[in-house]
Amino acid sequence: MADNSTTSETPSATQAARKIYKIVKYPDPILEKPTAPVTKFDAELEQLAEDMFASMYAAQGVGLAAPQIGLSVRIAVVDVTAGKNPEAKIVLANPEIIHAEGEKREEEGCLSVPGFRGYVMRPHFVTLRAQNAKGETFEMRGEDLLARAFCHEIDHLHGILFLQHLSMLRRDLIKRKIKKLIKKGEW
């Protein structure tokens, strides 16, 4: 998910050794493919999660799912403070929404669809169950932007982009514009 705020900076706490992944863009087919569950919780997975945070901050996003870095695995990272609060870092391995409440329609963007936004209806409150990078199960409730980010990233893990939630008119307009950009070599 793309950052909603106007000011974003790379956090100073990010270790220099982190791998910054290139973000996969629509219409790469990996973005529309359901992911495989995480089964191995080891040092490699913890490193992947940290690299995903670093890649997300570098791209000024508030959420990033593994398919967006070319890995069809059920893991995503979320930080709605965009790196400003280290305690806001959330790793979501094998997440599922267990409760949703209310509705809220807000503009949304995605690092894999850069430059385009659209209004998407999402639950106002969401409770999810997931595992952290160590494999420990937790439940977490999110409101507003956090609820939106949870839904957006879990969608990614099921091969669903925010474009699918837009009106057909808006979606087709964005797809046409992207096609033009691809033709011009500007995508």
Q: Which residues make up the interface to Ni ion (CB under 5 A)?
A: 1, 110
User: How far does Cα 141 stand from its chain's mean position?
Assistant: 17
Min dist CB 121 to Ni ion, Å, is 16
Least distance in angstroms from the C-beta of 136 to Ni ion: 25
- Decide if 49 contacts 130 (C-beta within 8 A): no
**Residues with a known catalytic role:** 153
The residue nearest Ni ion at its CB is: 110
**Closest CB to Ni ion among residues 78, 110:** 110
The least CB distance from residue 1 to Ni ion, in Å, is: 5
Sign of the four-CA dihedral 38, 142, 113, 23? negative
Type of residue numbered 1? M
- CB of 29 or CB of 136, closer to Ni ion: 29
Residue 108: which of 145, 137, 65 has the closest Cα? 145
Write down the residue that tokens 């990078």 correspond to. Answer: 133
Question: Amino acid letter at 160?
Answer: I
CB of 43 to Ni ion, least distance (A): 27
Element (H, E) at 48: helix 43-58
Q: Which residues pair with 100 in a beta bridge?
A: 126
Q: Which residues partner with 128 through β-bridges?
A: 97, 140
Residue whose CB is less far from Ni ion, 23 or 45: 23
Q: Which C-beta is closer to Ni ion: that of 30 or that of 41?
A: 30
Distances in Å between the Cα of 155 and the Cα atoms of 35, 103, 163, 185 are 10, 17, 11, 28
